[in-house]
Amino acid sequence: MKAADYRSFLSTHRVMLAPMAGVSDPAFRQLCAEQGASLAFTEMVSAKGLSYANERTAHLVDLYDGEALVGVQIFGHEPQTMADQAKWIEQELGERLAVIDINMGCPVKKIAGKGDGAALIKDLSLAAQITSAVAQAVQVPVTVKTRRGFYDGEETCVDFAHIAQESGAAAIALHGRFATQMYRGRADWDCIARTKAAAAIPVIGNGDVFSAEDACALFDQTGCDAILIARGAQGNPWIFAQISAALKSNQTPNLNELPFPSFEERIEMARLHAHLLHEREPRSVLRMRKHACWYVKGIPGAAAARGMFNTCSTAEDFDKAFDALLSHLSQQEVGT
pLDDT at 42 over 90: yes
Overall average pLDDT of the 215-244 stretch: 96
Helix (H) or strand (E) holding 177: strand 171-178
Confidence band, pLDDT 50/70/90 cuts, at residue 148: very high
Nearest Cα to Cα of residue 15 among 209, 270, 265, 254 = 209
- Concerning whether 157 is annotated as a catalytic residue, the answer is no
pLDDT at 190 over 90: yes
Beta bridge partners of 75: 46
Neighbours of 261 (CB within 10 A): 17
In tens, the pLDDT along 197-208 reads: 999 999 999 999
pLDDT at 71 over 70: yes
d(CA 308, CA 196): 46
Average pLDDT of the chain is: 93
Q: Are 291 and 234 in contact (CB under 8 A)?
A: yes
Is residue 237 classed as helix, strand or coil in its secondary structure? coil
Pairing of strands 203-206, 226-229: parallel
**pLDDT number for residue 2:** 63
Q: Are 321 and 305 in contact (CB under 8 A)?
A: yes
Nearest Cα to Cα of residue 332 among 305, 303, 304, 299 = 299
The more confident residue out of 54 and 225 is 225
Q: Domain 3-257 is classified in which CATH homologous superfamily?
A: Aldolase class I (3.20.20.70)
**pLDDT number for residue 154:** 95
**pLDDT number for residue 284:** 87
Confidence band, pLDDT 50/70/90 cuts, at residue 228: very high
**pLDDT number for residue 52:** 86
Give CA torsion, residues 296, 301, 307, 309, to 10 deg: -40
Confidence band, pLDDT 50/70/90 cuts, at residue 336: low
In tens, the pLDDT along 101-126 reads: 999 999 999 999 999 999 999 999 99
Q: Among positive and negative, which fits the CA dihedral 48, 50, 53, 55?
A: positive
d(CA 209, CA 233): 9
> Which entry of 106, 157, 224, 312 is annotated as an active-site residue?
106
pLDDT at 4 over 70: no
Confidence band, pLDDT 50/70/90 cuts, at residue 53: confident
d(CA 107, CA 251): 35
Report the alpha-carbon angle 112-116-119, nearest 5: 55
Q: Are 34 and 252 in contact (CB under 8 A)?
A: no
d(CA 275, CA 100): 29
